[in-house]
Amino acid sequence: MSTQSLLERRFRVLGKHSPLFYDKPLQLVRGEGVWLYDAEGKRYLDAYNNVPHVGHCHPRVVDALCRQAHALNTHTRYLDDTVVTYAERLLSTFDKSLSNVFFCCTGTEANELALRIARECTGGQGIISTAHAYHGNSAAVAQISTLFTPPEKRGPFIRTIPVLDPYRERRGRDDETLSTAYAQDVQKAVDDFARNGVKFAGLLICTAFSSEGLPTVPRGYLAKVVKIVHDAGGVFIADEVQAGFGRFGSHMWGHQVLGATPDIVTMGKPMGNGHPLAGVVARADLVEQFTSQNMYFNTFGGNAVSAAVGLAVLDVLQEERLLENARIVGEYVIAGLRKLQTKHALIGDVRGAGLFFAVEIVRDRTTQEPAPAETKRIVNGMRERGVLISRIGIHDNILKIRPPMPFSTGNADLLLKTLDDLMTSL
């Protein structure tokens, strides 16, 4: 009853279109590690959220936040040791060429700033993104968030490349051939700008291609793309909002997994474990050029409390060896999902790395026809059975599984068994 009345009150004040997960929305009241608890005390395994990266309400992060909030909270126009120490620690996880950082509060702000730097430093306007991307909600960033912004609302300075779909499009091609073919899509977009007299500024992509469906990117793809972008005078912006902070286990950043170095990197969500902290890391020469012409100040970005929280997140990642955990548990989950694939015909493909998984739900494995209605039933069915996941992809037919980093093999067993039981009952 209380959840129902809260829903009605919410509709009245936030409107009916304010997005909510699940057919039966969840009212969560407490979180701890990988667990969430609803208003009736029911426990849910969180196999979806990457914002509570080191675990919901991690005591170390909460302590750091409280301690700094009790001592002092100022913005970055005063000298503060914690802010500088955090910047140094964060930058040490990148290639040496990426040596300056701006702090802000959301992934949107980070991408907005990255676009401004790219446009200022290249003198161009043209930006390439993918055809099913989400990068944020400001006016400029919404233009490249093609998932929600139709072509007629994107303006004249945006071109898109098709979503990579090796599951359907490999057709016997090896990585070298396939990556060359996919990279040609970027060349075509660059050429289209030139034909229309638009000076090219850069390419901005999520290095997990998360909203696009977490495709297995063919080896060599990103290096080829970055060469095309640089040859055309543009910069490569890596959106690490979903892929970053060790999500893939093997590396700290998605672009490192894909084997290319960006000119600008944006990050957010997991950075503050729920506290609004985001950032832009870039080449020092780009930062110098941009800031010599534009004053950038962000009142709340990188304040002393945020910096203390950010440092605590990095400490926990290291001390609890969470990248290693992501690798080990990730392989266990992939093996389990592949086993389920042999049992359930609806599972067309299983892919992922570290603690980020995609399960393609198809009507028929031969035709690979997407099964969005079944996917929706699975996501809602899992929620009913106490496991939280979501769905992604152009056809809305891909289960998105991306738990907090302390996810254990025991948690994985529960996820796999619940999915197995549910799919058996469909």
Ligand X SMILES: Cc1ncc(COP(=O)(O)O)c(C=O)c1O
Q: Which residue is nearest to ligand X (CB)?
A: 107
CB of residue 396 to ligand X, shortest distance in Å: 16
Q: What is the DSSP string of 332-351?
A: HHHHHHHHHHHH-TTEEEEE
Among 31, 55, 124, 136, which residue sits at the site for ligand X (rule: CB under 6 A)? Answer: 136
What is the 8-class DSSP label of residue 92? Answer: T
Q: Strand 398-401 relative to strand 126-130: parallel, antiparallel, unpaired?
A: unpaired
- Where would I find the H helices in 123-220? 139-144, 166-169, 175-195
CB of residue 303 to ligand X, shortest distance in Å: 17
Closest CB to ligand X among residues 206, 232? 206
Instruction: Candidates 25-33, 132-140, 163-171, 400-408: pick the segment binding ligand X (CB under 6 A).
Output: 132-140
Regarding 273 and contact with ligand X (CB under 6 A), the answer is no
CB of residue 128 to ligand X, shortest distance in Å: 15
CB of residue 175 to ligand X, shortest distance in Å: 24
CB of residue 136 to ligand X, shortest distance in Å: 4
Closest CB to ligand X among residues 251, 402? 402
What are the distances in angstroms from CA 131 to CA 145, 162, 217, 240? 9, 5, 16, 18
CA 183 to CA 84: how far, in whole Å? 38
CB of residue 275 to ligand X, shortest distance in Å: 12
Instruction: List 74's β-bridge partners, or say none.
Output: none
N-term to C-term CA, the chain: 29
Instruction: Candidates 133-141, 156-164, 297-305, 322-330: pick the segment binding ligand X (CB under 6 A).
Output: 133-141
CA 59 to CA 98: how far, in whole Å? 31
Regarding 268 and contact with ligand X (CB under 6 A), the answer is yes
Closest CB to ligand X among residues 76, 210? 210
CB of residue 211 to ligand X, shortest distance in Å: 7
Regarding 135 and contact with ligand X (CB under 6 A), the answer is yes
The pair of structure tokens assigned to 389 is: 């996941």
The pair of structure tokens assigned to 42 is: 């029911």
Regarding 242 and contact with ligand X (CB under 6 A), the answer is yes
Which of 348, 322, 327 has the alpha carbon at shortest distance from 337? 348
CB of residue 357 to ligand X, shortest distance in Å: 16
Closest CB to ligand X among residues 268, 274? 268
Instruction: Candidates 14-22, 33-41, 237-245, 390-398: pick the segment binding ligand X (CB under 6 A).
Output: 237-245
Closest CB to ligand X among residues 111, 122? 111
The pair of structure tokens assigned to 227 is: 């060469």
Location of structure tokens 């289960």:
399
Regarding 239 and contact with ligand X (CB under 6 A), the answer is yes
340: amino acid identity, one letter: L
Neighbours of 138 (CB within 10 A): 15
Among 241, 361, 392, 419, which residue sits at the site for ligand X (rule: CB under 6 A)? Answer: 241
Instruction: Report yes or no: 65 and 71 within 8 Å, Cβ to Cβ.
Output: no
CB of residue 113 to ligand X, shortest distance in Å: 12
The pair of structure tokens assigned to 333 is: 């989950």
Closest CB to ligand X among residues 108, 261? 108
Residue 245 CB contacts under 8 Å (≥ 6 apart), including other chains: 53, 252, 267, 270, 271, 313, 317
Closest CB to ligand X among residues 99, 138? 138
Query: Helix (H) and strand (E) counts for the chain?
Result: 14, 16
CB of residue 235 to ligand X, shortest distance in Å: 17
Among 114, 140, 144, 206, which residue sits at the site for ligand X (rule: CB under 6 A)? Answer: 206
The pair of structure tokens assigned to 226 is: 């970055």
Closest CB to ligand X among residues 108, 325? 108
Site string for ligand X, 77-116 (x = CB under 6 A): -----------------------------xxx--x-----
Q: Is 15 left (phi over 0), alpha (psi -120 to 50) or beta?
A: left
Q: Which residues bind ligand X (CB under 6 A)?
A: 106-108, 111, 134-136, 206, 210, 239, 241-242, 268-269
